[in-house]
Amino acid sequence: MKIKKKVFYLLSHPIQYQSPLMREISTLENLDLTVLFCSEEGATEYFDRQYGRKIKYDTPLLQGFNFVFLKNYSPFPSVFNNLYGLINFGVLKKLYKDKPDLLVVHGWSYLTHIMAIIFASLLGIKVALRSENPYHQEIKKRKHILFLKKILLGSLLFKCIDYFLYIGNKNKEFYRFYNIPESKCFFAPYCIDNNFFKERAIKDKEERTSLRSQFNITEEDHAFLFVGKLISKKRPLDIIEALNKVKNRSFKLILVGDGELKDEVSRLMEEYGLSDKVILTGFINQSELPKYYSIADSFILPSGQGETWGLVVNEAMCYGLPIVSSSTVGSSFDLVTPKTGESFTEGNIEELSKILSNFTRDTSHLEHSYISKYIEKYSFKTVCNSISQIVHNTD
């Protein structure tokens, strides 16, 4: 009987997008997976600062894989407190005692992650890094910051890492910018549970008309959809500004989310006379989210700096929705093509308005079946194949 390779996967906390992937990785025959969580935030009800309210996800985040919660010794314990928010000394003991064949670390934003990378390297444990940073956002940073990062990352931390899992083209360019050789880069795309959303898409299609009628959306209306936190990084106000310039009023906008800009969004809606055109749903939990994609005709993500990927784009594409994305969004370089949607310059209201105006008239050149098919290569299977290849390399 072949001995399974022992793999540790270090995550900050249970995340609705990561847990399904952990379940999928745990099914691989050649490895024994244990997920190390640094915080219980997300697993139970917690206060989300960006939503501005308490959140409890209604989908299972801890089922289908082995996991351990590491004690957090931080004096400021929170996943929102960056470097010093997570200080889990137990990860060192776990690595020393169990000596896995591979440690996969998601990002380096916390002290725990940095300690784990360095200590694992000293123990001779192979380390794989999966991060989100896109090159086109990185080079916008100040020159002295980039100089320091070249030293701290390129010359120090990254020297402790054996494999780099890139989530998309711009993330790979980020690694190459820090002189990571091509041979160390493996494609592990940012992805969602495509099967779940595609199955729901088929089911919800039958209820599309009745669901739209609940929101007073007619078949003549083009329903734009935004899903995300109403915070400055997501730039939801840009959508309101752009729609105000659209002359064809046969549209509706569904804003799914909550956050600090909610009142400002409402104020702008009233000021522009769009209150009957915009639907503010507030926070919608995971099990109810798919039906909003079924209602929509296209999807908008106007985010700025800090939107390293945007997994809501993946979700929308599972429903075959044409995408309107700012070119700052990390996924725009991978997922937005002339056949799947259009991108625009972040903050350019005129440009965005023109695209939305065109969408209200016709999106027939953007085939739903093609869009739905296009997203399939951004899948758990692709990630699992890369991790299996890396595990094989540890022999």
AA letter at 188? A
**In terms of Cα–Cα distance, which of 189, 225, 190 is closest to 302?**
225
Q: What confidence score (pLDDT) does residue 44 get? A: 84
Query: How far, in whole angstroms, is CA 158 from its chain's centroid?
Result: 23
List of long-range contacts for 201-206, beta carbons under 8 Å, 24+ apart: 201/290, 201/293, 201/294, 201/318, 201/319, 201/320, 201/372, 204/290, 204/291, 204/293, 204/294, 205/294
Query: How far, in whole angstroms, is CA 148 from its chain's centroid?
Result: 27
Residues of the chain with pLDDT below 50 are none
Neighbouring-strand partners of residue 275: none
DSSP 3-state of 369: helix
3-state SS of 43-94?
A: CECEEECCCCEEECCCCCCCCCCEEEECCCCCCCCCHHHHHHHCCCCHHHHH
Q: Please answer whether residues 366 and 320 qualify as being in contact, where contact means their C-beta atoms are separated by less than 8 angstroms.
A: no
Q: Which residues contact 348 (CB under 8 A, 6 or more apart)?
A: none
Q: Please answer whether residues 146 and 138 qualify as being in contact, where contact means their C-beta atoms are separated by less than 8 angstroms.
A: yes
Tokens of 70: 């590491």
Alpha-helical segments (H) within 133-257: 135-138, 143-149, 169-177, 194-205, 208-214, 236-244
| Other beta carbons less than 10 A from residue 190's beta carbon | 24
User: pTM of the predicted model, to two decimals?
Assistant: 0.94
Tokens of 376: 């399939």
Q: What confidence score (pLDDT) does residue 395 get? A: 66
Q: What confidence score (pLDDT) does residue 345 get? A: 98
Q: Which residues contact 264 (CB under 8 A, 6 or more apart)?
A: 237
pLDDT digits (tens, 9 = 90+) for 259-303: 999 999 999 999 999 999 999 999 999 889 999 999 999 999 999
**Measured distance CA(354)–CA(106) in Å, rounded:** 38
The length of the chain, given as a count of residues: 395
Provide the CB-side half-sphere exposure for 124 (13 A, CA).
2
Q: What confidence score (pLDDT) does residue 46 get? A: 77
- DSSP string covering 336-349: --TTTEEEE-TT-H
Tokens of 273: 């006379």
AA letter at 323? I
DSSP 3-state of 151: helix
Give the chain's domains with CATH numbers: 5-191+379-393 (3.40.50.2000), 194-376 (3.40.50.2000)
**In terms of Cα–Cα distance, which of 338, 296, 331 is closest to 314?**
331
Q: What confidence score (pLDDT) does residue 165 get? A: 98
**Measured distance CA(145)–CA(148) in Å, rounded:** 5
Q: What confidence score (pLDDT) does residue 331 get? A: 98
Tokens of 232: 């400055």
Place of tokens 């399939």: 376
